[in-house]
Amino acid sequence: MRANVDEPRLMTGTPIANEIRRLRFEHGEMTQQALADACHVTRQTIIALEAGRYAPSLELAFRIARTFGVGVEGVFRWAA
């Protein structure tokens, strides 16, 4: 069964930082809803990702990166 990309995983000790908020503002002050629509997820998912409460699925990480025209490492980084 395929996992839903709209269901982020709890970050239990996984130090993944992200640049989603900065990238949204660099791209014409894109709203969380606009990013969510582009990535086929809910706004709540984007909020949780920006806050660092959840880690994205690999598929969602690539969707977000593609939306901003950067590589995955341009959005997410291992903060350990």
Share of the chain above pLDDT 90, in %: 71
CB 78 within 8 Å of CB 15: yes
CB 32 within 8 Å of CB 47: yes
pTM given for the model: 0.81
Share of the chain above pLDDT 70, in %: 81
Domains of the chain: 14-70 (1.10.260.40)
Each residue of 51-70: pLDDT tens digit? 999 899 999 999 999 999 99
